[in-house]
């Protein structure tokens, strides 16, 4: 009897946060878009972003369709810009945009300096 009570309590403590997390977005649309931009720039720079992409895809399912479409469009535009960057000036601009995007993502998430996503 005591074991059943402990097991039920433990299951409730674990399941409730997961259920609440599944119910709605964890980020505002601005935070989500900022994180997507930063992750896209990190990705084209060669950084390992597989985990960040997974988390953003999971979060994207909770965002509005408009926010999701905007995020996909921005990530595609960043990838295209990186492919078309051929000169040193283009690369410098890409690095500058990456720094600005990740700085914005840090501020949007309230991290104030840590790498986003």
* DSSP annotation string for 28-86: -HHHHHHHHHHHHHHHHTT---HHHHHHHHHHHTTS-HHHHHHHHHHHHHHHHHHHH--
Q: Residue 25 in contact with residue 63, Cβ under 8 Å? A: yes
Determine the pLDDT at residue 10: 52
Written as tens digits, the pLDDT of the chain (117 aa) is 555 445 555 555 555 455 545 557 799 999 999 999 999 999 999 999 999 999 999 999 999 999 999 999 999 999 999 999 889 999 999 999 999 999 877 766 665 444 444
Determine the pLDDT at residue 114: 43
In Å, what is the CA distance from 44 to each residue of 19, 35, 47, 90? 34, 14, 7, 13
Determine the pLDDT at residue 58: 95
Q: Residue 49 in contact with residue 42, Cβ under 8 Å? A: yes
Instruction: State pTM to two decimals.
Output: 0.69
């Amino acid at each position: 009897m005591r074991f059943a009570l402990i097991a039920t309590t433990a299951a409730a403590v674990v399941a409730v946060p997961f259920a609440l997390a599944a119910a709605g977005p964890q980020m505002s649309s601005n935070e989500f878009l900022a994180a997507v931009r930063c992750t896209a720039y990190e990705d084209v720079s060669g950084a390992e972003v597989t985990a960040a992409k997974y988390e953003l895809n999971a979060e994207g399912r909770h965002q509005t369709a408009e926010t999701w479409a905007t995020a996909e469009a921005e990530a595609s535009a960043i990838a295209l810009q990186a492919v078309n960057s051929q000169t040193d000036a283009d690369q410098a601009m890409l690095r500058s945009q990456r720094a600005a995007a990740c700085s914005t993502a840090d501020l949007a998430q309230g991290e104030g300096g840590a790498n986003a996503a």
